[in-house]
């Protein structure tokens, strides 16, 4: 800790005129709640709430309401329609049960995009654009709750996009989702664990983007796109090569989508995933989510330490 602080130029100085036994003063790492008197879960929650209010203001209040609404609706619906167009052009028909599989997958994927993009853009926006990140580090607030709060605004928009996509599927494409037939407990558990996993990926990416240039704007989309493949978001993982199938089974997003699909549609995805009971799906989701959350937090901590050590917190990288 001392070495780290000294490298950051933040070590306390004790002058030669100091009289009497020198009591070592613990070095303070700005932004580290463990080093701030009074830092607590309550202050972390306040930071998250402030971050959420700020995030929502940036996302909505500072935008043109019409454009904001169009953007919130058009993008997720278009993402779903891409896949629907592929299905229609091949099968020549709109079989509701087939369409339902794709609609639910693309609707839920909004949360993945929103969660990862929200966390990464909070870092990049605050560093490169608003240039406030250094002040968050200098303040007693911890960065992580602020980032999670900022990202919650985008997750809320994603929820809106997911709902609109499902609505388009139900109203225009004949998808049948009966509210009385939804497995609400399974949906609630799957969603809670799935959001932990999404948050973990976003937090790790946010830490990574502290090291990168401004061009990292596009990186969350790239990560989300790659996970789209290995999670079987819009196709059963049976069609993947065996190596990718193994990766899919270790990915919490695969289990989250499967649990949510079972809860919403009442049917399991064919072949590989159908062999697992609902309980097994939830257990696999829990294990993989906890493992990914631990890995995500460790990655974030490593990258934040590295960014401090190398003076990357306030770098501007416009190119």
Partner 1 sequence: MGGTGGGPLVDRMGRPSGGPREAAAWDDRRAFLVNLRAVGGRAYPRLIGQSREPSWLLFEILLPLLSTFSFVFVYRALQAPEEYVGFVVLGGAMTAFWVNVVWMMAAQLYWERDSGNLELYFTAPIGMMSILLGMALGGLVATSIRAAVVLLVGTALFGVTYSVSSWAALVAVFLLTLVALYGLGMLLASLFLMWGREAYHLAQLLTEPVYFLGGMYAPLRALGPLAALSVALIPLAVGLDAIRQLAFTGPTAVGVLPVPAEVAILIVMCIVFVAAARYALHRLEWMARREGRLTVRGR
Footprint on this chain of partner 1 (rule: CB under 8 A) = 62-64, 67-68, 70-71, 74-76, 78-79, 81-83, 85-91, 128-129, 212-219, 222-223, 225-226, 228-230, 233-236, 238-240, 316-319
Return the structure tokens found at 237: 């993982």
First to last CA, the chain: 35
Quote the DSSP letter at residue 90. H
Please work out, in degrees rounded to the nearest 5, the angle formed at the alpha carbon of residue 261 by the alpha carbons of 254 and 102: 85
Mapping DSSP to helix (H, G, I), strand (E, B) and coil, where does residue 311 land?
A: coil
CB of 171 to partner 1, least distance (A): 18
CB closer to partner 1 out of 180 and 318? 318
CB closer to partner 1 out of 71 and 195? 71
CB closer to partner 1 out of 144 and 233? 233
Considering only the C-alpha atoms of the chain, give the largest distance between any 2 of them, rounded to a whole number of Å: 88
CB of 5 to partner 1, least distance (A): 27
Query: How many residues belong to the chain?
Result: 319
CB of 104 to partner 1, least distance (A): 14
CB closer to partner 1 out of 45 and 78? 78
CB of 211 to partner 1, least distance (A): 8
CB closer to partner 1 out of 121 and 255? 121
CB of 241 to partner 1, least distance (A): 10
CB closer to partner 1 out of 162 and 230? 230
CB closer to partner 1 out of 18 and 69? 69
Quote the DSSP letter at residue 58. I
CB of 51 to partner 1, least distance (A): 18
> Phi, psi (5° rounding) for residue 84?
-60, -40
d(C-alpha 197, C-alpha 289), whole Å:
5
Within 13 Å, how many C-alpha atoms sit on residue 310's CB side?
Answer: 11
Q: Are 245 and 237 in contact (CB under 8 A)?
A: yes
Q: Report H helices in the chain.
A: 2-7, 41-56, 65-91, 96-124, 133-138, 143-173, 184-209, 219-230, 242-249, 252-265, 278-309
- The whole-angstrom distance between residue 22's C-alpha and the CA centroid of its chain comes to 46
CB of 228 to partner 1, least distance (A): 5
């Amino acid at each position: 800790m001392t070495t780290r602080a000294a490298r950051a130029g933040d070590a306390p100085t004790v002058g030669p005129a100091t009289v009497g036994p020198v009591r070592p003063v613990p070095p303070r790492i700005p932004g580290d709640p463990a080093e701030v008197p009074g830092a607590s879960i309550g202050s972390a929650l306040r930071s998250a709430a402030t971050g959420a209010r700020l995030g929502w203001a940036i996302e909505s209040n500072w935008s043109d309401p019409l454009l904001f609404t169009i953007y919130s609706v058009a993008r997720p619906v278009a993402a779903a329609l891409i896949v629907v167009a592929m299905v229609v052009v091949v099968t020549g028909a709109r079989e509701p049960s087939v369409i339902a599989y794709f609609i639910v997958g693309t609707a839920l994927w909004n949360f993945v995009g929103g969660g990862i993009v929200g966390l990464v853009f909070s870092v990049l926006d605050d560093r490169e654009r608003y240039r406030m990140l250094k002040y968050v580090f200098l303040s007693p607030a911890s960065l992580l709750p602020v980032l999670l709060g900022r990202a919650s605004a985008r997750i809320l928009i994603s929820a809106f996009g997911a709902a609109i996509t499902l609505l388009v599927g139900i109203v225009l494409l004949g998808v049948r989702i009966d509210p009385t037939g939804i497995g609400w407990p399974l949906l609630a558990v799957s969603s809670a664990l799935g959001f932990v996993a999404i948050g973990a990926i976003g937090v790790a990416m946010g830490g990574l983007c502290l090291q990168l240039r401004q061009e990292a704007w596009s990186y969350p989309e790239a990560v989300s796109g790659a996970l789209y493949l290995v999670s079987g978001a819009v196709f059963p993982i049976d069609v993947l090569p065996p190596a990718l199938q193994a990766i899919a089974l270790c990915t919490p997003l695969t289990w989250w989508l499967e649990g949510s699909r079972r809860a919403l549609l009442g049917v399991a995805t064919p072949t590989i995933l159908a062999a697992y009971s609902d309980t097994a799906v939830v257990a696999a989701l829990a294990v993989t989510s906890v493992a990914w959350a631990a890995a995500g937090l460790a990655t974030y901590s490593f990258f934040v330490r590295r960014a401090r050590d190398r003076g990357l917190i306030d770098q501007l990288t416009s190119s």
